[in-house]
Amino acid sequence: MTTGLDLDHVRGAAADTLHRVFGYDEFRGNQAEIIAHVVSGGDALVLMPTGGGKSLCYQIPALVREGTGVVISPLIALMQDQVDALTAVGVRAGFLNSTQDAEQRRAVEAAFLGGELDLLYLAPERLRIESTSALLDRGTVSLFAIDEAHCVAQWGHDFRPDYLQLSMLHERWPNVPRIALTATATEQTHLEIQKRLQLGDARHFVASFDRPNIQYRIAPKNSPQQQLLELLRSEHPGDAGIVYCLSRASVEKTAEFLVQNGIEALPYHAGLDARVRAANQSRFLREDGIVMVATIAFGMGIDKPDVRFVAHLDLPKSVEGYYQETGRAGRDGLPSTAWLAYGLQDVMQQRRMIDQSEGDDAHRRRLGAHLDAMLALCETVECRRMQLLAYFGETSTPCGNCDTCLAPPESWDGTVASQKLLSTVVRLQRERNQKFGAGQIIDILLGKETARVTQNDHETLSTFGIGTELAESEWRGVVRQLLAQGLLGVNSDGFGTLVITEASASVLGGERRVKLRREPEKPARGSRGSKASRGALAQLPAETVAVFESLRAWRAAEAKEQGVPAYVIFHDATLREVATTAPSTLEELGTITGIGENKLAKYGEGMLAVLSS
């Protein structure tokens, strides 16, 4: 047990490390609590959104406690960058993973045994090797940090079998505190982490999952590539961002399309050669303003702070996944956009994929539940953020920074329209023993005498031409929303034909009213107006823009020389503060957020020279 006095001492040491090493003034949210708890030897389970500041929660305890903090992370490809970023602030860090040769590994092991490491990053699979455990036994471990802890949860979307054996940490080293961290926060995942990692006695720290600087927008999908281009040109010219696509083929096509239109875009998916993938990731991290077009294989652990937008061209499979992916935007707290284009085809495709997926019924039901929650988010007429946060168990009020808040969609009573559509499906099925896709059903409702209509004698159906009050695009909206609400189904024949569901009967029988969303004529656009007000130059007084630009140029040169990402040198937010406060001495420079002892010593003179030129 720690006494009150000890705790004061612990808090003092933590605050001192925060200023001296990281150059920050104060802890954010519940960082101080978490750090004090872990420094005092307690176990912790930390749920905090991306960008919330999880890293300091184990890095500072590792610096304050005796020995080496061991960080378990699945992100082998990013370990070098993480170590570089720590080295830049004067923290002694190393990693052990399969990318190293024997000699490199021996050097890290020797440093660990010699007590020369504050932090050691390990891939989870290394712990299966007895020699790794034996190594840890021979040195002094100050704590275990289990990063991306949701990887242990089978309910979630990033399950890694190697994470299951991490319960052994507790069995083998019962006296070493453990801190598990994740940005995934549904109740189910939360409980699964606790159970599987045997964190029964851990204190839980649950932060708010709101990311107020991210603007959530979900647009009807018409011509997705053009819509994307329009978004990038009008709101994010020159900004770094991520575009997610479902398939490798659409990643390639979209990247090519953007390049042809003058945007620096790179592809990333599991089918690319590992070297190309690594090179593209590295360019995205190191250069300014690259757009990464990727499958969801990309992004976990990417801690680039200035990703200004995340765009989805296909519907994500779950709200958890969507929130993680969009959360990669705006870690630096500056305004950012999460934009998703979504249409009828997405619903059909996802339903089909679930039908055809391997695994048992329970698995399919789980996938179905995930999809339904995602569809409900897409079709809501309420504030998107309220619905997102509600999914994570938080109550909130309308945010004013999502598309439905900025341009509220109307809802309308779609009961009669739904009945017309459903009865067409029923008639085809019952009277003709036929099933058709959305296109044909809509043609029938609109009374179009197409070749396919006359061939099939569909003009003699009693519902032929009874739906001329709506336009074709509106009918597609009706189909999409009925599918989303489970009032209409996709047949599992693989042709996307429509069938009624058990729930359809209540609509046809008139017992259930159907509320539908009318698409806004003009989709919501960024509320903050013109391009210059967004991104890196946001809210910067005009007279300091030039200074900021020269600081950025200086930073780019430093980063290039050292072969590290620009943000490892300084974040935009730090350069911005330097530009606006114009410090003239090293002492003044040292008070700026993000400039700790080490960076002041290394870059102080250089920055002052830029400022005085």
Type of residue numbered 18: L
> Which region among 49-57, 117-125, 350-358, 392-400 touches Zn ion (by CB under 5 A)?
392-400
> Which region among 24-32, 117-125, 212-220, 311-319 touches ligand ADP (by CB under 6 A)?
24-32
The item of ligand ADP, Zn ion, none sharing an interface with residue 399, based on CB under 5 to 8 Å by kind, is: Zn ion
Interface residue with Zn ion among 232, 293, 405, 547 (CB under 5 A) is 405
Judge contact between 297 and 268, C-beta under 8 A. Answer: yes
Q: How far is CA 170 from CA 120, 181, 195, 374, in A?
A: 18, 16, 12, 36
Interface residue with ligand ADP among 17, 30, 50, 481 (CB under 6 A) is 50
> Which among 547, 598, 601, 604 has a CA at the least distance from the CA of 575?
547
Q: Which is closer to ligand ADP, CB of 237 or CB of 590?
A: 590
Give me the least distance between CB of 398 and Zn ion, in Å please. Answer: 5
Give me the least distance between CB of 331 and ligand ADP, in Å please. Answer: 5
Binding of Zn ion by 402 (CB under 5 A): yes
Give me the least distance between CB of 211 and ligand ADP, in Å please. Answer: 10
Q: 307: which 2 tokens?
A: 């990703």
Cα separation, 34 vs 58, in Å, equals 9
Cβ-based neighbour number of residue 559 at 10 Å:
19
What HEC string does 46-98 produce? EECCCCCCCHHHHHHHHHHCCCEEEEECCCHHHHHHHHHHHHHCCCCEEEECC
Q: Which is closer to Zn ion, CB of 329 or CB of 444?
A: 329
Give me the least distance between CB of 528 and ligand ADP, in Å please. Answer: 22
Judge contact between 91 and 63, C-beta under 8 A. Answer: yes
* Residues 545-604 within binding reach of ligand ADP (CB under 6 A): 571, 593
Q: Which is closer to Zn ion, CB of 150 or CB of 217?
A: 217
Exposure letters 104-127 (e unless 16+ CB within 10 A, then b) = ebeebbebbeeeebbbbbbbbbbb
- At a CB cut-off of 8 Å and minimum separation 6, what does 158 contact? 74, 148, 150, 151, 184, 300
Cα separation, 456 vs 119, in Å, equals 71
State the binding string over 347-386 for Zn ion (x if CB under 5 A, else -): ------------------------------------x-x-
The single-letter DSSP state of residue 402 is B
Interface residue with ligand ADP among 14, 17, 24, 286 (CB under 6 A) is 24
Residue 176's φ and ψ, nearest 5 degrees, are -95, 125
> Which region among 4-12, 54-62, 163-171, 550-558 touches ligand ADP (by CB under 6 A)?
54-62
Give me the least distance between CB of 48 and ligand ADP, in Å please. Answer: 5
Q: Which is closer to Zn ion, CB of 215 or CB of 463?
A: 215
Interface residue with ligand ADP among 55, 261, 501, 580 (CB under 6 A) is 55
Give me the least distance between CB of 166 and ligand ADP, in Å please. Answer: 19
Judge contact between 30 and 63, C-beta under 8 A. Answer: no
The item of Zn ion, ligand ADP, none sharing an interface with residue 268, based on CB under 5 to 8 Å by kind, is: none
Q: Which is closer to ligand ADP, CB of 282 or CB of 593?
A: 593
- 207, 212, 213, 218 alpha-carbon torsion, rounded to 10°: 110
Q: Which is closer to ligand ADP, CB of 314 or CB of 332?
A: 332
Binding of ligand ADP by 305 (CB under 6 A): yes
Binding of ligand ADP by 54 (CB under 6 A): yes
Q: How far is CA 123 from CA 75, 164, 276, in A?
A: 7, 13, 22
Interface residue with ligand ADP among 331, 370, 534, 576 (CB under 6 A) is 331
> Which region among 26-34, 197-205, 262-270, 580-588 touches ligand ADP (by CB under 6 A)?
26-34
Measured in whole angstroms, how far is the alpha carbon of residue 593 from the centre of its chain? 26
Interface residue with ligand ADP among 52, 156, 267, 565 (CB under 6 A) is 52
Binding of Zn ion by 218 (CB under 5 A): no
> Which region among 49-57, 406-414, 483-491, 525-533 touches ligand ADP (by CB under 6 A)?
49-57
DSSP labels for 282-335? HHHHHSSSPEEEE-TTS-TT---TTEEEEEESS--S-HHHHHHHHTTS-TTSS-
Binding of ligand ADP by 86 (CB under 6 A): no
Give me the least distance between CB of 374 and ligand ADP, in Å please. Answer: 22
Question: Helix 55-64 and helix 31-39: axis angle, to 10°?
Answer: 40
Interface residue with ligand ADP among 81, 118, 148, 303 (CB under 6 A) is 303
Binding of Zn ion by 56 (CB under 5 A): no
Q: How many residues does the chain have?
A: 613
Half-sphere exposure of 148 (CA within 13 A, CB side): 24
State the binding string over 27-46 for ligand ADP (x if CB under 6 A, else -): xx--x---------------
Q: How far is CA 102 from CA 77, 107, 211, 345, 467, in A?
A: 18, 9, 43, 51, 72
Give me the least distance between CB of 333 and ligand ADP, in Å please. Answer: 8
Cα separation, 488 vs 444, in Å, equals 17
Binding of Zn ion by 399 (CB under 5 A): yes
The item of ligand ADP, Zn ion, none sharing an interface with residue 405, based on CB under 5 to 8 Å by kind, is: Zn ion
Binding of ligand ADP by 56 (CB under 6 A): yes
Instruction: List, in sequence order, every residue forming a beta bridge with 242; answer none if it has no partner.
Output: 292, 310
Nearest-5° Cα angle at 136, 123 to 88: 60
Binding of Zn ion by 600 (CB under 5 A): no
Which residues contact ligand ADP by CB under 6 A?
Answer: 24, 27-28, 31, 48, 50-56, 303, 305, 331, 571, 593
Which residues contact Zn ion by CB under 5 A?
Answer: 383, 385, 399, 402, 405
